[in-house]
Amino acid sequence: MTLLSIENVSKSFGQNEVIHGLNLQIQEGEFVSILGPSGSGKSTIFNLIGGLLTPEEGTIHLQNKIINGQRGSVSYMPQTPSLLPWRTILQNVVLGQELRGTTNIEKAQEMIHKAGLGEYIHSYPHELSGGMKQRVAFIRALLSPQPIILLDEPFSALDELTRLSMQKWLLNIWESNKRTVLFVTHNIEEALFLSDRILILSQRPASVISDLKVPFDRPRNEELVLEDQFLE
């Protein structure tokens, strides 16, 4: 079943046409990576789906409902996520759920521990490193209840070992919860490791120039619990 459908979408900033006539369909349960050079419009596509920007042309449907310019229909971890400085890590993680009245504190606590952040659960964002804050935003996006999760270069601030752990963890969650994930990266290896499908964007204005099915099996169902001492 098609979950998300982008039809003939265009977006410009002044004279700068960033997206032109973009068409894209995401099926329920897919893990799709979007690859493209820096400045090609990957984050702009996410801002359009997340409703932070409105397209000049075209429509974005989620579950057959038009969501142009409508925030909150998807779970979105932006490229530079922000945490609320006056809220603890636990309070930040449950934010996406709170907004939708579905708070599950036990699950949030479990995820924070699994991400190796157990000792920071009641700390404030300024007490964490950049990579730790990125992991908090990642957990918040995973716990938010919308049917599709957008992750914009979620692991870019992490060292190799932490990145690998988070990648495996994401695959594990995707596999066990059957979530639909749209993932932006400029790392081809990461896209091959994680996705069912890889979309490659042209230089600006962006459109999909290649839509590949990933032909290999990935590591599945690996239960992974991170230990604080292994993480940056």
- Report the candidate in 188, 179, 206 with the shortest Cα–Cα distance to residue 30: 179
Cβ proximity to ligand ADP, 36 vs 55, nearer residue: 36
In angstroms, what is the minimal distance from the CB of 36 to Mg ion? 9
Distance CA 61, CA 232 (A): 39
Q: 99 is written with which tokens?
A: 């907004």
Which stretch in 34-42, 67-75, 80-88, 117-125 sits in contact with ligand ADP by CB under 6 A? 34-42
Question: Counting contacts by CB under 6 A, is residue 38 touching ligand ADP?
Answer: yes
Cβ proximity to ligand ADP, 26 vs 94, nearer residue: 26
Binding-site size for ligand ADP (CB under 6 A) equals 11
The contacts of residue 173 (CB under 8 Å, 6+ apart) are 142, 179
Question: Counting contacts by CB under 6 A, is residue 36 touching ligand ADP?
Answer: yes
- In terms of C-beta density within 10 A (0-12 exposed, 13-18 middle, 19 or more buried), how is residue 227 classed? exposed
Cβ proximity to ligand ADP, 107 vs 186, nearer residue: 186
Question: Counting contacts by CB under 6 A, is residue 44 touching ligand ADP?
Answer: yes
Tell me phi and psi for residue 69, to 5 degrees: 70, 15
| Interactions with ligand ADP, residue window 9-28 (CB under 6 A) | 13, 16, 18
Cβ proximity to Mg ion, 79 vs 187, nearer residue: 79
Cβ proximity to ligand ADP, 23 vs 129, nearer residue: 23
Question: Where on the chain is the footprint of Mg ion (CB under 5 A)?
Answer: 42-43, 79
In angstroms, what is the minimal distance from the CB of 197 to ligand ADP? 18
Q: Using CB under 6 A, pick the residue from 9, 10, 22, 40 that binds ligand ADP.
A: 40
- Report the candidate in 180, 176, 177, 210 with the shortest Cα–Cα distance to residue 195: 180
Helix 130-143 crosses helix 105-114 at what angle (to 10 degrees)?
140
In angstroms, what is the minimal distance from the CB of 38 to ligand ADP? 5
Helix (H) or strand (E) run with residue 169 in it: helix 160-177
DSSP code at position 126: G
